[in-house]
A and B are shown apart, each in its own frame.
Chain A
Amino acid sequence: MDEILLSCSNVSKSYGGVAAVRAVGLELRAGEILGLIGPNGAGKTTLVDVITGQQTADTGVIRIGTVSLTGPPSRRARLAGFARTFQHPQLALDMTVRENILIGAVPDRFSSPWRVLASAFSGAARPATPEIDDRITDLAAELNISALDRMCADLTLGEQRLVEVARALLRGPTVLLLDEPFAGGDPRGVEGMIHALTRIVERGCGVLVVDHNVDIVASLVDRLVLMDQGQVVFDGLPTAAMASQEMRTVYFGSGT
């Protein structure tokens, strides 16, 4: 089996007495697509936020390789080679698609205060970045994103999600977190995302897909983790997951 890229052990997080995530353990391997599913309120998004550092976990350890992850999101993203998309697409709506994607290509230029200052000066001296533009253009073509100079406000939800994927991929991540990539998308958006996912896999990074659209996710992933009420209740092959008792209990509330 491939090496473990990301592992969570015993991660818990509660808000004011309500446990959103309880003692969750999870492993993601290189080249694997892992589906994290569960009904609304199962704790999926909280888990993603805890992994990326948007929230701090109450207990538990999150490791990338053998390094334990701590600190603000920016530090974790740098250490872990994380990239993520958001449940509600986070795009500057009055900026172009290209500008929104561009940030994925440049984190190296902002890794210390001095480098930030230097990039301000070099930006004023030479604003154009043809080599980055080419990378953006190629990636956009690969993901079927058209018209890079449109404002993000003019995009459909599905297109906005694709722009987020492009932004995340441009970083060349080792671990990619897709937070509800299929939610609210029209058929065309879902189709575009499935296409994108096949391209992502070719790059060999580990992918964690969080969604509650069980059928789509199960058809795409190598392994399924089912969460309910903050806990992992099933972890295994998608076919086994779909046939499992736990799946029936969680989604149909039938039998015990």
Chain B
Amino acid sequence: MTTRTTPVAARGTSPLARHRWAVEAVAAAVFALALVAYGSGASFRQDYVVLICTYSLLALGMYIPYIMSGSLSLAYNAYLGIGAYACGLISTRAGWSSLWGVPIGIVLSAAIAVVLGLATRRLTGFYLAGVTLLFAVAFQVFLLDRVSLTGGPVGMPVRRPHAFGYTFTRYDIMIGAVVLVWIVGLLLSRLRQSPFGVVVRLRKDVPQVVESSGISSGTIGVVSLAVGAAIGSVGGSLFGMMGGVAQPESFGLHIIFLAIFMPLLGGQRSPWGAVIGAVLVVVFTFELHILSDAGTLFFAIAILLVLRFAPLGLLGLGTPLLRLLTRLRMGRTPGGEGS
């Protein structure tokens, strides 16, 4: 029996007012500080932190089109690659600061995402996934083949970024990467709750409703892809600037697979799930030496387990736990609403 006595929600209280943005921002900041503290040690740790941030931006870039809007357009290696190569080209060919590569990469990858999105707008599911994977292969081959432009298999150097006469150190880049992930994560979390986010999520389940409400579902899809590609491209730029090189092998299909799985592992209900997934990938593949070669295999198995048994991901496991804790606490507090 559903109770009919539930009062209609009071006016003026937006459901968002109850969402504690400050708490989320602070919790994420604490996490960011922990990352920075970790990265303040040996130099290789800074590479790990930037790799985590790169993967985070990749997964965050996929968050709107893939998790929220349900599009399996998968050519994300291209967007990352464009970000890195834009920094490389602008710094070695034009001699400008590689920071200029960031906006150039954003515009270029968003443009390619729009073209690819328009070209595949009638495809969904397996066919969209397949044809965008073919595009991803063709992109990697392009990097290997166009030696005059991309440097071929050895890639091309990316100069350290500089601005106003100051050349950024690796440590600076690491700090910048962490701050960037923090900002993008928060913005996406807010975006998810906004009308745009609601419409994009409705498009995933009930596309006819979006259309019959007078909103072009195709336009929503293409814009989501463009925004996602731009975020991914920034990740690629960071990766290139940190490593000092842009190479084809960094932008193969494996990163697409990682990117598909990261948000599922961490949890789909929040962009932070994607970040958690990124941390786990890097920990599994590089940090757990006992797993040595099998790190990626363990990651793959973890994914299968999560898909099968915990469809809401690790953050999803936290919610019932939290609910249980609150219930226990409420049960004990006098006057609390025991159940």
Contacts and interface: CB of A to CB of B under 8 A. Distances in A.
Contacts of A148: 8-9, 15
A1 interface: no
B253 interface: no
Contacts of A75: 216
Contact of B216 (A83, A110, A125, A126): A110
Looking at B11, B12, B198, B205, the one whose CB has the most chain A CB atoms below 10 A away is: B198
Contacts of B15: 96, 98, 133, 148-149
A120 interface: yes
Contact of B222 (A113, A130, A171): A113
Nearest to A84: B212
Given A86-B208, A98-B15, A103-B213, A117 B227 contact: yes
Interface string A133-175: 1100110110000111100001010000000000100010000
A90 B199 contact: no
A91 B197 CA distance: 16
Interface range for B: 35 or more
Interface in B202-222: 202, 204-206, 208-217, 219-220, 222
A83 B7 CA distance: 28
Contacts of B209: 86, 90-91, 103, 167
Interface string A100-121: 1011111101111100110110
A119 B196 contact: yes
B8 A141 contact: yes
B215 A123 contact: no
B14 A128 contact: yes
Nearest to A133: B14
A92 B8 contact: no
Contacts of A203: none
B190 A72 contact: no
Contacts of A112: 219
B181 to A, nearest CB: 15
B205 A93 contact: yes
Looking at A132, A137, A171, the one whose CB has the most chain B CB atoms below 10 A away is: A137
Nearest to A138: B11
Nearest to B110: A117
A12 interface: no
Main secondary structure of the interface of A (DSSP, over half): helix
Looking at A73, A94, A100, A109, the one whose CB has the most chain B CB atoms below 10 A away is: A73
A103 B208 contact: no
A72 B216 contact: yes
B220 A116 contact: yes
Interface range for A: 35 or more
A124 interface: yes
Interface string B152-196: 000000000000000000000000000000000001101101111
B194 A103 contact: no
A127 B194 contact: yes
Contact of B8 (A77, A119, A127, A146): A146
A53 B194 CA distance: 28
A52 B4 CA distance: 35
A122 B223 CA distance: 14
Interface in A199-243: none
A92 B14 contact: no
Nearest to A104: B213
Contacts of A100: 202
Nearest to B16: A128
A226 to B, nearest CB: 26
A113 B211 contact: no
A74 B202 contact: no
B333 interface: no
A29 B302 CA distance: 60
B232 to A, nearest CB: 16
A102 to B, nearest CB: 5
Nearest to B217: A74
Looking at B201, B215, B223, the one whose CB has the most chain A CB atoms below 10 A away is: B215
B12 A130 contact: yes
Contacts of B6: 146-147
B214 A171 contact: yes
Contact of A116 (B2, B7, B13, B223): B223
B23 interface: no
Contacts of B211: 53, 72-74, 77
12 contacts: A52-B212, A109-B195, A110-B215, A113-B222, A120-B64, A123-B191, A124-B187, A124-B190, A126-B194, A132-B195, A147-B8, A149-B9
Given A91-B206, A92-B205, A133-B14, 8 more contacts: A98-B15, A117-B226, A120-B64, A123-B194, A128-B16, A137-B9, A137-B10, A146-B8
Query: Nearest 8 A-B pairs (CB), nearest first?
Result: A123-B194, A77-B214, A127-B194, A123-B196, A92-B205, A107-B214, A73-B211, A128-B16
